[in-house]
């Protein structure tokens, strides 16, 4: 599996004609395989409908950042409209000590979501891992329907990665989206560059 150097995305966004794409380091590949294998081995409660929320960094005190809270408000609306659905909250402690998953769980429970409806995924550090690890849990739930929640600018890449990850683990759930509003999204050029990077590096091809 390969991944672009972070500088490559900015080069593409500036219109560079070509960038060097180095090999992804072996330690990163092995970590991905370990955490995905662990997710595939987890026993989780069965659910026909899963609401999957991709996290983003929380505040240092563990409360949701404005961006994360927008995603949570969208997730809450879907959860209230679908009381039998389970929520999968995905995100590691990228900044600070509190995982994004735990920050999301605390906020949702404080806003009326029953704790027993929530499945935590606290290992994903970036969007590819959100997709890989959440897809494994969705497969184990046996869900036939997923509502994917993230911000509007982030949704095209997230949805593409998530659908590819579902296929890779043999899940066939239909994927709907609940797009949280953007306030200050990155430029479309930057996000398009990330999509180009993922495709150019065959990031949808899963290491085995």
**Span 146-205, pLDDT tens digits:** 999 999 999 998 999 899 899 988 999 999 999 999 887 777 777 777 776 666 544 444
Sorted by where each starts, the structural domains of the chain and their CATH numbers stand as 6-200 (3.40.50.620)
CA 169 and chain centroid, separation = 16
**Span 188-208, pLDDT tens digits:** 777 777 776 666 544 444 443
**Span 58-91, pLDDT tens digits:** 999 999 999 999 999 999 999 999 999 999 999 9
Q: Tell me what pLDDT residue 203 has.
A: 45
Residue 95 has pLDDT above 90, yes or no: no
Q: What is the CA radius of gyration of the chain?
A: 17
**CA 101/CA 93 separation, integer angstroms:** 8
Q: Tell me what pLDDT residue 28 has.
A: 66
Residues in the chain: 208
Q: Tell me what pLDDT residue 38 has.
A: 84
Residue 25's pLDDT band, with cuts at 50, 70 and 90, is low
DSSP state of 206: P
Structure tokens at 42: 């987890």
**CA 141/CA 77 separation, integer angstroms:** 22
Model-wide pTM > 0.75: yes
Q: Tell me what pLDDT residue 124 has.
A: 92
Q: Tell me what pLDDT residue 73 has.
A: 98
18-22: long-range contacts (C-beta < 8 A, 24 or more apart)? 21/200, 21/201
């Amino acid at each position: 599996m390969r991944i672009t150097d972070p500088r490559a995305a900015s080069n593409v966004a500036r219109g560079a004609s070509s960038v060097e794409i180095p090999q992804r380091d072996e330690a990163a590949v092995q970590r991905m395989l370990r955490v995905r294998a662990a997710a595939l081995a987890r026993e989780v409660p069965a659910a026909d409908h899963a609401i999957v929320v991709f996290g983003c960094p929380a505040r240092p005190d563990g409360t949701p950042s404005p961006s994360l809270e927008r995603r949570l408000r969208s997730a809450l609306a879907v959860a209230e409209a679908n009381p039998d659905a389970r929520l999968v909250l995905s995100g590691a402690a990228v900044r600070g000590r509190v995982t994004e998953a735990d920050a999301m769980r605390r906020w949702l429970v404080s806003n009326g979501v029953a704790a027993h409806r929530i499945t935590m995924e606290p290992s994903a550090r970036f969007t590819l891992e959100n997709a890989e690890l959440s897809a494994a849990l969705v497969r184990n739930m046996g869900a036939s329907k997923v509502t994917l929640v993230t911000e509007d600018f982030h949704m095209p890449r997230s949805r593409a990665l998530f659908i590819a990850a579902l296929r890779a683990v043999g899940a066939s759930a239909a994927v709907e989206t609940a797009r949280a509003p953007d306030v200050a999204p990155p430029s479309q050029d930057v996000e398009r560059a990330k999509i180009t990077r993922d495709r150019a590096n065959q990031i949808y091809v899963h290491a085995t």
